[in-house]
Chains A and B, each alone.
Chain A
Amino acid sequence: MADWEELQALFEAAAQLEGEERAAYLDAVCGEDTVLREELEALLNADAEDTLSPPGGFSDGLKSATSFDDQLEGSQLGAYTLLERIGAGGMGTVFLAERSDGAFERRVAVKVVRRGMDTETVVRRFVAERQILSQLDHPSISALLDGGVTPDGRPYLVMEYVDGLPITEYCDRHRLSIDERLALFKSVCRAVHHAHQNLVVHRDLKPSNILVTEDGTVKLLDFGIAKLLDEDSDAQLTRTGMPAMTPAYASPEQLNHQPVTTVTDVYALGVILYELLTGRRPFEARKSPEELRQEILSGDAPKPSTVITRQPADADGRPERTLEAISASRSVPPGRLRHALAGDLDTICLMAIRPEPQGRYASAEQLADDLDRHRDGQPVRAQNPSVGYRVRKFVRRHRAGVATTAAVVLAFAGVITYYTHRLQEERDTALAQQEKAETVVEFLTNLFFEADPDNSLGEDVTARQILEAGRANIDFDLADQPELQATMKRVLGEVYYEVGNSDVAWELFSDAYDQFRERGGLEAASSRLSLGIIAQDRGDYETAVEAMQYAYDQRVDALGPEHEAVREAVAAQAFLQETLANFDEAGRLHEAAFAMAEALYPQDDVALAQAHSELAGYYRTQDRRPEAEALLRDGIAMMERLQGDRRHPLTAKMIRQLGGTLRNSDRFEESEPLYREAIALQEDMLGPDHYEVAVSWNGYSQLLTNMGRSEEAMEANARMIDIIESRFDGPAPALGAAYNNLAFMLLDLHRYDEALENFDKSLAAQDAIGLPPDHFNRTFPSAGKAQVYLLVDRLDEAEAIFREMLAIRIDNVGEEHRLVQEIHSDLGAVLTEQANFAEAESLLLAAFDYFDRTLDDTAWDRVEAAQRLAALYSAMGEPEQAATYEAIAAPAPGDGEGDTVEGEVAEAT
Chain B
Amino acid sequence: MTDEDQLTQLLVAWGDGDPNALEQLTPLVYERLRQLAQSAYRNEHGAQTLQPTAVVNEAWLQLANAQLELQSRHHFYALAARMMRRILVNHAVARKAAKRGGGQVMLTLNEGQYSAEQESEEVLALNEALENLAERDADLEALLELHYFGGYTTMEIAEAMNVSESTAKRQLRFARAWVRRALER
1/0 contact string of B100-141 vs chain A (CB within 8 Å): 000000000110011000010011001000000000110000
Q: Which residues of B contact A54 (CB under 8 A)?
A: 52, 147-149, 151
Q: CA A12 – CA B122 in complex, angstroms?
A: 26
Q: Decide: B109 and A116 in contact? CB cutoff 8 A.
A: no
Say yes or no: is A883 at the interface (Cβ < 8 Å to chain B).
Answer: no
Q: CA A44 – CA B177 in complex, angstroms?
A: 7
| A43, A65, A236: the one within 8 Å of B177 (CB) | A43
| B5, B147, B151, B176: the one within 8 Å of A421 (CB) | B5
Q: CA A234 – CA B58 in complex, angstroms?
A: 10
Q: Which residues of A contact B170 (CB under 8 A)?
A: 12
Q: Decide: A119 and B57 in contact? CB cutoff 8 A.
A: yes
Q: Decide: B184 and A55 in contact? CB cutoff 8 A.
A: no
Q: Decide: A52 and B179 in contact? CB cutoff 8 A.
A: yes
Q: Which residue of B lies closest to A650 (CB)?
A: B1
| A56-B114, A62-B53, A240-B153 known; A121 vs B61 contact (CB < 8 Å) | yes
| B5, B43, B62, B174: the one within 8 Å of A12 (CB) | B174
Q: Decide: B70 and A238 in contact? CB cutoff 8 A.
A: yes
Q: How large is the interface on B (under 10, 10 to 19, 20 to 34, 35 or more residues)?
A: 35 or more
Q: CA A94 – CA B63 in complex, angstroms?
A: 31
Q: Which residue of A lies closest to B60 (CB)?
A: A235
| A54-B148, A421-B8 known; A11 vs B177 contact (CB < 8 Å) | yes
Say yes or no: is A15 at the interface (Cβ < 8 Å to chain B).
Answer: yes
Q: CA A693 – CA B148 in complex, angstroms?
A: 45
Q: Decide: B67 and A58 in contact? CB cutoff 8 A.
A: no
Say yes or no: is B88 at the interface (Cβ < 8 Å to chain A).
Answer: yes
1/0 contact string of A11-52 vs chain B (CB within 8 Å): 110010000000000000000000000000011111101101
Q: Which residues of A contact B9 (CB under 8 A)?
A: 417
Say yes or no: is B50 at the interface (Cβ < 8 Å to chain A).
Answer: yes
Q: Decide: B151 and A58 in contact? CB cutoff 8 A.
A: yes
Q: Which residues of B contact A647 (CB under 8 A)?
A: 20, 24
Say yes or no: is A423 at the interface (Cβ < 8 Å to chain B).
Answer: yes
Say yes or no: is B17 at the interface (Cβ < 8 Å to chain A).
Answer: no
Say yes or no: is B162 at the interface (Cβ < 8 Å to chain A).
Answer: no
Residues of A in contact (CB 8 Å), total 62
Question: Which of A55, A237, A445, A647 gathers most chain B CB within 10 Å?
Answer: A55
| A238-B73, A421-B4 known; A55 vs B109 contact (CB < 8 Å) | yes
Say yes or no: is B90 at the interface (Cβ < 8 Å to chain A).
Answer: no
1/0 contact string of B80-94 vs chain A (CB within 8 Å): 000000001000000
Q: Which residues of B contact A120 (CB under 8 A)?
A: 36, 39-40, 43, 58
Say yes or no: is A319 at the interface (Cβ < 8 Å to chain B).
Answer: no
1/0 contact string of A53-82 vs chain B (CB within 8 Å): 011111101100100000000000000000
| B151, B171, B173, B179: the one within 8 Å of A61 (CB) | B151
B86 to chain A, nearest CB (A): 14
Q: Decide: B177 and A417 in contact? CB cutoff 8 A.
A: no
A457 to chain B, nearest CB (A): 11
Q: Decide: B65 and A15 in contact? CB cutoff 8 A.
A: no
> Which parts of A214-243 form the interface with B (CB within 8 Å)?
231, 234-240
B64 to chain A, nearest CB (A): 7
Q: Decide: B149 and A43 in contact? CB cutoff 8 A.
A: no
Q: Decide: B179 and A43 in contact? CB cutoff 8 A.
A: no
A151 to chain B, nearest CB (A): 8
Q: Decide: B177 and A606 in contact? CB cutoff 8 A.
A: no
Q: CA A4 – CA B181 in complex, angstroms?
A: 15
| A55-B123, A119-B54 known; A46 vs B181 contact (CB < 8 Å) | yes
B154 to chain A, nearest CB (A): 10
Say yes or no: is A254 at the interface (Cβ < 8 Å to chain B).
Answer: no
Q: Decide: A46 and B53 in contact? CB cutoff 8 A.
A: no
| B58, B109, B155: the one within 8 Å of A119 (CB) | B58
Q: CA A43 – CA B114 in complex, angstroms?
A: 25
| A50-B180, A610-B1 known; A58 vs B52 contact (CB < 8 Å) | yes
Q: Which residue of B lies closest to A42 (CB)?
A: B181
Q: Decide: B64 and A235 in contact? CB cutoff 8 A.
A: yes
Q: Which residues of B contact A46 (CB under 8 A)?
A: 176-178, 180-181, 184
Q: Which residues of A contact B27 (CB under 8 A)?
A: 644
Q: Decide: B4 and A52 in contact? CB cutoff 8 A.
A: no
Q: Decide: A49 and B57 in contact? CB cutoff 8 A.
A: no
B7 to chain A, nearest CB (A): 9
Q: Which residues of B contact A231 (CB under 8 A)?
A: 57-58, 61
Q: CA A12 – CA B5 in complex, angstroms?
A: 48
Say yes or no: is A8 at the interface (Cβ < 8 Å to chain B).
Answer: yes
A564 to chain B, nearest CB (A): 7
Q: Decide: B67 and A445 in contact? CB cutoff 8 A.
A: yes
Q: Decide: B5 and A153 in contact? CB cutoff 8 A.
A: no
Q: Which residue of B lies closest to A60 (CB)?
A: B151
Q: Which residues of B contact A121 (CB under 8 A)?
A: 58, 61-62
| B6, B36, B51, B176: the one within 8 Å of A47 (CB) | B176
A677 to chain B, nearest CB (A): 16
B138 to chain A, nearest CB (A): 12
Say yes or no: is A559 at the interface (Cβ < 8 Å to chain B).
Answer: no
> Which parts of A665-720 form the interface with B (CB within 8 Å)?
685
Q: CA A151 – CA B47 in complex, angstroms?
A: 12
Q: Which residue of A lies closest to B124 (CB)?
A: A55
B70 to chain A, nearest CB (A): 7
> Which parts of A98-147 form the interface with B (CB within 8 Å)?
115-117, 119-121
Q: Which residues of B contact A606 (CB under 8 A)?
A: 1-3, 6
Q: Which residues of A contact B67 (CB under 8 A)?
A: 416, 420, 441, 445
Q: Which residues of B contact A685 (CB under 8 A)?
A: 20
Say yes or no: is B78 at the interface (Cβ < 8 Å to chain A).
Answer: no
| B49, B66, B148, B180: the one within 8 Å of A417 (CB) | B66
Say yes or no: is A623 at the interface (Cβ < 8 Å to chain B).
Answer: no
Q: List 10 A-B contacts (CB under 8 A).
A: A44-B177, A46-B177, A55-B122, A62-B51, A237-B57, A240-B153, A424-B8, A424-B62, A647-B24, A650-B1
Q: Which residues of B contact A (CB under 8 A)?
A: 1-6, 8-9, 12, 20, 24, 27, 36, 39-40, 43, 45-46, 48-55, 57-58, 60-62, 64-67, 70, 73, 88, 109-110, 113-114, 119, 122-123, 126, 136-137, 147-149, 151, 153, 155-156, 170-171, 173-174, 176-181, 183-184
Closest 7 CB pairs of A and B: A56-B109, A153-B45, A46-B180, A47-B177, A56-B110, A54-B148, A46-B181
